[in-house]
Amino acid sequence: MNIHKNLLFLKSAFALDATQVTTNYAIDWIKEQNQKIKVEVKKIPFSSMKLWGFDETKSVLRHETGKFFTIEGINVKTNWGKVKQWSQPIINQPEIGYLGFVTKEFDGILHFLLQAKIEPGNVNNVQLSPTLQATKSNYTRAHKGKAPAYLALFVDATPDQILLDQLQSEQGARFLKKRNRNIIIKVEEDIELLDNFIWLSLGQIKHLMSHNNLVNMDTRTVISGIPYGNFDEDQISLFNFFDSKTSKNTIEKKFLKSTLLTNHALHTLEDIINYVTKQKCKYELEFESLPLSDIEDWVIEEDSIHHKDHKYFNVIAVEVSIENREVVKWTQPMVEPAQGGLCAFVCKEIKGILHFVVQTKLECGNFDIIEFAPTVQCLTGNYKETAKDKLPFLDYVLNVPKNQIIFDTIQSEEGGRFYKEQNRNMIILADDEIKVDLPDDYIWMTINQLQTFIQFNNYINIQARTLLAAISFKS
């Protein structure tokens, strides 16, 4: 089953033609979906929220049912990085939600059922989301709205229908130990195609990621975990032979080799497990709950909770009207970034195979202290100012020649909790200017090794998974 599953995914990743619709049609279809739905999102005072509010002492911001999520305060202590202690608001959403794709073969190509979904925090309203994107509060209908479309297919899925099933983390600087179930199921029967859904191949989804803000964060996290299998060099050469319209040494072919090849890596999996285990033992992460009103250097006003210097992020309230949602009008808190950020992987060929500079990063909400992160990840501050602190590789990424940038787009963060947050995502191909010796908190890994660790859950952070999802084998 595994080899068949891997080849199904691999074939779909190469498929830009012989699909249900063309990629250009999909882009036009997204534009049409945007025009069809009336959306209104406006900021409001906290006191105008319905069913949401502070408790009497302003220690927590929550829904009256106790469902969905809360905004709480935490005090953090760690020996990682330059700042050893701080306090901040954080989203506490302990329930595990569904991020799921229904897939089906059409003419021998596995297609993914995507939804044109509008989230209140999306910068451009409609983005392509998984078939099912729902918190437990949503799919148990705590909002008293309609059940999400296609939910029953996931609830009733048999083990032989499940192609992927993982628990993956969310943003560790904003969520407290938040995880979602990333799942892909395959159906044989015909199912109704609702108006705001579309069938696309994996290759098409990856191609659409080269555009700004078309593929949402939840889609990216699910497809990042897709296994393509382990192959030897002769088999990889055969795959490339059947895709021989382009030259032998394109970046796509280098990506494919790094994804499928298990040998020739600089470090073995055992080396990497030993390395990250030492990192988790070396660094400490302690936090304690804190009333929102007691968070040092943060201010609660009638329409925001913000840092005294207006850095990092704000907690705001919004009123939302979206025509095609399970509930068409509601209010809720959201997290608004102070400014955009940067996530970048630097890679280079070592021993004839692409390796990525991977950072071991501690964030206050991490499930298990340390997660593997992109080479550079500056999400909540002005990264140009951060460069003054000599963050490794940041100066290099900001000043790299354009011909070494092989992926560069703006991607939104999750629009259900984050208000118009988007970050620059980059993959950079380095040469001799990046040495094999790395700082202590960085290690070289192939794509195959990164994807192996995704299967273990809570090892690869969501920013790294977004960049891995963008890696394409077809130009």
For the stretch 261-290, pLDDT in tens is 998 899 999 999 999 999 999 999 999 999
Q: How confident is the model at residue 401 (pLDDT cuts 50, 70, 90)?
A: very high
Q: Are residues 191 and 250 in the same domain?
A: no
pLDDT above 70: residue 311: yes
Does 405 lie in the same domain as 266? yes
Q: At a CB cut-off of 8 Å and minimum separation 6, what does 213 contact? A: 122, 123, 124, 127, 410, 411, 412, 422
C-alpha torsion sign, points 141, 96, 461, 473: negative
Q: Which residue has the tokens 């073969």?
A: 105
250 and 300 in a single domain? The answer is no
Residues 123-182 have pLDDT tens digits of: 998 999 999 998 876 666 655 567 899 999 999 999 999 999 999 999 999 999 999 999
151: Cβ–Cβ under 8 A, 6 or more apart, which residues? 98, 132, 134, 139
Q: What is the pLDDT of residue 475?
A: 80
Helix residue ranges per DSSP H, 66-150: 136-139
Q: Quick one: three-class SS letters along 208-262?
A: HCCCCCCECHHHHHHHHCCCCCCECHHHHHHHHHHCCCCCCCCHHHHHHHHHHEC
Whether 475 is in a domain gets the answer: no
Query: Could you tell me what percent of the chain has a pLDDT over 70?
Result: 93
Q: What pLDDT sits at residue 247? A: 52
Spatial CB neighbours of 389, under 8 Å, sequence gap ≥ 6: 82
Q: What DSSP character marks residue 465?
A: H
CA dist 184 and 101 (Å) reads 5
Give the pair of three-digit tokens for residue 13: 């990743």
Mean pLDDT of 286-296: 95
474 CB burial (10 A radius; 0-12, 13-18, 19+) = buried
pLDDT in tens, 324-343: 667 789 999 999 998 889 99
Q: Is residue 407 part of a domain?
A: yes
Residue among 322, 326, 329 at smallest CA distance from 139: 326
Q: Which residue's structure tokens are 């406006």?
A: 42
* One-letter amino acid of 444: W
Are 325 and 348 within one domain? Answer: no
CA-nearest of 234, 236, 291, 280 to 258 is 236
Q: At what angle do helices 462-470 and 217-224 cross, to 10 degrees?
A: 80
Looking at the structure, do residues 453 and 358 belong to the same domain, yes or no?
yes
Query: Looking at the structure, do residues 333 and 379 belong to the same domain, yes or no?
Result: no
Verify that 258 and 158 share a domain, yes or no. no
Q: What is residue 27's predicted lDDT score, i.e. its pLDDT?
A: 96
- Of 34-38, 139-143, 303-307, 409-413, the poorest mean pLDDT is in 139-143
Q: Which residues contact 280 (CB under 8 A, 6 or more apart)?
A: 368, 369, 370
Residues 274 and 412 in one domain: yes
Residue 234 has pLDDT above 90, yes or no: no
- Per-residue pLDDT tens over the stretch 351-363: 999 999 999 999 9
Of the pLDDT bands very low, low, confident and very high (cuts 50, 70, 90), residue 389 is: low
Beta bridge partners of 112: 103, 200
pLDDT band, residue 322 (cuts 50/70/90):
confident
Which one is predicted more confidently, 221 or 249? Answer: 221
- Whether residues 151 and 185 fall in one domain: yes
Count of domains forming the chain? 3
Position 245 pLDDT exceeds 60 = no
Q: Which of 222, 245, 275 lies at the terminal end of a domain, its last residue?
A: 222
In terms of pLDDT, which residue wins out, 454 or 95?
454
pLDDT of residue 339: 85
What does the alpha-carbon distance between residue 253 and residue 251 come to, in Å, rounded to a whole number? 5
Residue 176 located in a structural domain:
yes
**Is the predicted pLDDT of residue 107 greater than 60, yes or no?**
yes
Q: Is residue 228 part of a domain?
A: no
Q: Show which of 222, 249, 272 is a domain's final residue.
A: 222
pLDDT at residue 465 above 70?
Answer: yes
Domain-embedded: residue 461 = yes
- Both 125 and 198 in one domain: the answer is yes
pLDDT at 249: 75
Are 211 and 322 within one domain? no
User: In the predicted model, is pLDDT for residue 382 greater than 60?
Assistant: no
Asked if residue 357 lies in contact with residue 438, where contact means CB atoms within 8 angstroms, the answer is yes
Q: Is 227 part of a structural domain of the chain?
A: no
Average pLDDT value over all residues in the chain: 92
The whole-number pLDDT of residue 457 equals 86
Domain-embedded: residue 262: yes
Let me know whether 54 and 129 are in one domain: no
Return d(Cα 339, Cα 379) in angstroms, integer: 8
The predicted structure's pLDDT at residue 455: 92
Tokens of 274: 């030993």
pTM (2 d.p.): 0.94
Residue with the bigger pLDDT between 39 and 135: it is 39
What is residue 90's predicted lDDT score, i.e. its pLDDT?
Answer: 97
The arithmetic mean of pLDDT across residues 292-312, rounded, is: 95
Residue 145's nearest CA partner among 320, 319, 324 is 324
CATH number of the structural domain spanning residue 396? 3.90.79.40
Q: Which helix (DSSP H) or strand (DSSP E) does residue 182 occupy? A: strand 179-186
Q: Which domain holds residue 416?
A: 233-284+340-470
Measured distance CA(338)–CA(342) in Å, rounded: 13
- Output the pLDDT for position 308: 95
Q: Using pLDDT thresholds of 50, 70 and 90, give the confidence band for residue 3.
A: confident
User: 124 in a domain, yes or no?
Assistant: yes
